[in-house]
Structure 1
Amino acid sequence: MRKYSNTRATLAIATASLKSILRSPSAVIFSLAFPLIFILVFGFIGGGGVKVEVGLGKGSDTTNIVYQELKGVNVVKLLPDLSEETLKKNLEKGSLDAVLTISKNPNGKPPYIVDVKYTKASLEKGNILKAVLNNIFYIVNTKGANAPPPVAELREATVHGREYKTIDFILPGQLGFSLLSTGVFGTAFVFLSLRITLVIKRFFATPVKRASIVIGEAIARITFSLIGALFIILVGHFFFGFTLIHGFVTVINMLILSVIGLIVFMGFGFTVSGIAKNESSVPPIANIITLPQFLLSGTFFSIEAFPKWLQPISRALPLTYLNDAMRKVAFEGAGLFDVTHQLLVLAIWGVIIYTVAVKAFKWE
C-alpha cells in the first residue's frame, strides 16, 4: 500500500482550485478584464494628470520673490532637498521634470539668474513649467508704466531623458488592482463556500492537513495571478510601449512583487471569509477593504494630487507601496533591494493582517 502524501494532496487541491478559477467568469473579469480595459483606455487616450516635479539646484536662493511665487503654484511640486547627483540622475531617467537653480547675479543687474534644465522625457510638463515661469516673470518684472528694473533673468536648457508615458503610471496600478481583487474576493468567496458546503468538514475525514488546503488554494491563486500579471505586462509593453527598463529581468522582478502583494492581500481575504456569515455579506465587507485602496493608492493618479490631509491615509495603505515598488522597478530600473522600504511596509501589513486572520478565520 502506497504511503499517503500530503504533498500530492496539496498539488491536487491546487490543480482543482486553478481549474475552478479559470472557469469562473467573475475571477476572469475582476483579475483580467477590468484592468485590461483600463489599460486600453488610458493607453489610447494618453495624457496625464501628475504634478510637475521640480528639483531645486544646490545653493539656490529661496528668499527671493521668484521662488516664493513658484512655491504658491499648485501645479508645481518643489523638491528642495535632493543632492546634485540625485537631481542629475532623476532628470535623465525622467522621474524629475526639471531642475531649477536660482542664484544671485554677480553683475547685480538683474539681481537674480534663474537656470532651468528640462528633460525631453516629459516635454508636456516642461511646457507647463515654462508657462508658469513666464507668468511669474511677467508679474515680478512688470509693474505697469513705472516698472522697476527686472529682478531676474531666465536661462533654459533641455537634457535628454526617457519619456514617462501615461501607461508607465497606469499599468502598475491596474496590476495592483488585479492582485488586490484576486486576493480579497477570490480567497473570501472560496473559503466561505468550502465551509458552508461542508467541503472542509469532509476534508477533515481524510488525512489531508489543514495546511495543505490553504497552501493548495494559495498555489492556485498565485499561478492564476502570475498568468494574468504576465499577460497584462506583455500587452502593455508590446501594444502601448510600457517601459521595461531591463527587459526580462524587470518582468521577473514585477512577477516576484506580484506574488508578495498577492500573499498579503490573501490575508484580507481570509479575514473577510471569517467575518462574513454568508456569501451575500462578502461583497460589502470586501469592498470596504478594496475600494479605498483602489481609489486612494495611486492607481489612476499620483497621491500628490490628493489634499494634504488625505495623503497620510493613502500612504498607510498596502496597495500604495506595491504600486510604488512596481513603478520603480519597471521605469526606473530599480532592483528588489532598491525597494526594501516598500517591501518592509508590505511585510508589516502581512504580519498584522494574518494575525487578525488567525483570530477571525473559521474552519467550520
Structure 2
Amino acid sequence: MSPAFRAIALAILKGFVRDRASVFFALVFPLMFLVLFGGIFNDPQQSKVELVQVGAVPLIDDLPADARKAWDETFETTRTQDRAGAITRVRKGDADVAVEMRGDTLVAHYTQTDAVRAAITQGTLRAFVDAANVAASGRPPAFTLRTERVEDDSLKTIQFVTPGLLGWAVAMSAAFGAAATLQGWRESKLLRRLQLSPAPAGAIVSARVLVTITIALVQLAIFVGLGMAAFGLQLDGAWWMAVPLLVTGTLAFMSLGLLAGALSRTTEGAVNLANFLVLPMAFLSGSFFPLEGAPSWLQVVSKALPLRHLNDAMLDVMVRGEGPASALVPMAILLAFAAVLTFVASRLFRWDTA
C-alpha cells in the first residue's frame, strides 16, 4: 500500500465523516426505515383481522375449542350491541369487518377500501361457515388441513425486511457518494490538481473504492447488529456471503453514481440524478415491500435492475438458508453492470465543468 494511496484514502474517509449530510443519508436515514419497519412488522397483532361482533352470534360463540383457537389466532374480536356504530367503524377503517346473525345467515359488513384485506376476510369467514355446516350435518369432513411453514418457526418479518433495506442503503450511499465526489472534485478543480500530482490515477480510484466499500461493510455491521439486538434478527445459511455481495453491489452502484456525475454539471444535479435513478429502483426491486404479487410486466422490469438481484441474493444467503452458490450469478450480473456503466461513464467523463 503506497503512501499516496493511504493519504488519499484517509482524506476521503475524513471528508465523509465530517460531512454530516453524507453520514446521515448513508447510515442514519436507512436505519430509521429499519426501526420503523421493524417496529411495525414485529407487532404480532398487526396480522389479525379486526372484527366487530354485533349481538349474539352462535356460530362464533359456540365454536369448539380447536376452532376457537384458530378463530382467536385469525380475528381480533370486539363485541357490541350497536349495529350502526359497528358498521360506522368499518366504514371509517377502524375495523375490518362487522358480523351479525340473521336467522341462520352470518352477515358480514366489510369495506372495499382495502381489496386484499376484504378478500382475505371473506375467504376466512367462509371457511368457518363451511366448517360449521359440516359440524351441524353430523358428517365428518373427508379431508383435513395441516399448515407448515417452509421457514423455521423462529423467523420474523424483520428477517425479510433487513436484507432489502440494507441493499437500498448500500445502493444509495455508493451512488450518491460517487456522484457527489466526482462532480464536487470537478467543481473545486481538485480533479485537475490530482491529475498534475505525482499520485497515480489508480491510487486515487482505488482509494475512493476502498472507502465506499468500507462504508458498506459498516452499514452491514450496524444493520445486522441493530436487527439482532432490537428485533430478533437471525442469520441463516451462508450469511457470510453478504460481504462479497455487498462489495459487488457497491461497485455496481458506484458506477451508477459515476455515470450521474459524468452527465451532470453541478454537484446538486449529480446527486439529484443519482436519487432519480436509485429511489424508483428501490420500490421496483423489493427493498420496501415484496413483489411476488406484482403484475408480470413489472416483474420483468424489476429483474432488469441491479438492485433486484442484490436484494434477492441477500435474502437467499441471509434468510432462506441457501448456500454460497446462490450468490454467484447475482454477483456476476452486478459486476457486468458495473463494467458496462463504468465504461459509459469514462466515455462521457470531463475534467472540467465547462
Q: TM-score w.r.t. structure 2 length?
A: 0.69
Task: Report the Cα offset of residue 8 of structure 1.
Answer: 1.8
Deviation at 1:335, TM superposition (A): 3.2
Distance (Å, rounded) in 1 between the aligned partners of 2:126 and 2:336: 46
Greater radius of gyration (CA): 2
Alignment length (residue pairs):
275
CA distance in 2, matches of 1:38, 1:172: 12
2:149 is aligned with 1:154:
no
Task: Structure 1 unaligned segments of length 5 or more: list them.
Answer: 1-5, 51-127
* Equivalent in the alignment of 2:100: none
Q: Distance in 2 between matches of 1:179 and 1:319?
A: 10
CA distance in 1, matches of 2:9, 2:344: 25
Aligned to 2:280: 292
Q: Is the 8 A contact 2:228 2:234 kept in 1?
A: yes
CA distance in 1, matches of 2:341, 2:24: 26
CA distance in 2 between partners of 1:256 and 1:188 (Å): 23
Tell me: CA distance 1:130–1:330, structure 2 relative to 1, closer, same or farther (3 Å): farther
CA contact (8 A) 2:9 2:208 kept: yes
> Hey, what's the Cα distance between the residues in 1 that align with 2:122 and 2:329?
36
- 1:22 maps to 17
SS at match of 1:201: helix
- 8 Å contact 2:179–2:271 — kept in the other structure? no
Structure 2 unmatched runs, 5+: 48-118
Output one character per residue of 1:63-104: Cα deviation in whole Å (capped at 9) or x when no partner.
xxxxxxxxxxxxxxxxxxxxxxxxxxxxxxxxxxxxxxxxxx
- Secondary structure of the residue aligned to 2:271 is helix
| Matched-pair identity in % | 30
Residues 230 and 255 of structure 1 are in contact (CA less than 8 Å); yes or no, is this contact kept in structure 2?
no
Partner of 1:180: 171
Match status 1:262 vs 2:262:
no
Name 1:236's counterpart in structure 2. Answer: 227
Relative distance call for 1:294 and 1:336 in structure 2 (3 A) is same
User: For residue 350 of structure 1, what is the aligned residue in structure 2?
Assistant: 338
Q: Does the 8 Å CA contact 2:172/2:275 hold for their aligned counterparts?
A: no
Contact 1:18–1:224 under 8 Å retained in 2? no
Give the structure with the larger helix fraction.
Answer: 2
**Helix, strand or coil at the partner of 1:316:** coil
Q: Residues 351, 162 of structure 1: CA spacing in aligned structure 2 closer, same or farther, 3 A cutoff? A: farther
In structure 2, what residue type is equivalent to 1:18?
Answer: L
The answer on whether the counterparts of 1:137 and 1:152 sit within 8 Å (CA) in structure 2 is no
Residue from 239, 262, 280 that aligns with 2:268: 280
Question: Of 307, 311, 332, which residue of structure 2 is paired with 1:323?
Answer: 311
* Alpha-carbon distance between aligned partners in 1 of 2:251 and 2:266, rounded to the nearest angstrom: 24
* 2:211 counterpart of 1:220: yes
CA–CA distance in structure 2, aligned partners of residues 317 and 207 of structure 1: 39
Pairwise mapping of residues 61-80 of structure 1 onto structure 2 (< 5 A)? none
- Could you tell me which of 28, 35, 53 is aligned with 2:30? 35
1:41-60 counterparts in 2 under 5 A?
41-46=36-41
CA offsets per residue over residues 231-278 of structure 1, 9 Å max, x none? 1111111221112125xx62x322221111101100011111111011
CA 1:297–1:131: 2 relative to 1, 3 Å: same
Name which of structure 1's ranges 151-160 and 253-262 shifts more when overlaid on structure 2: 151-160
Partner-residue secondary structure (3-state), 2:154: coil
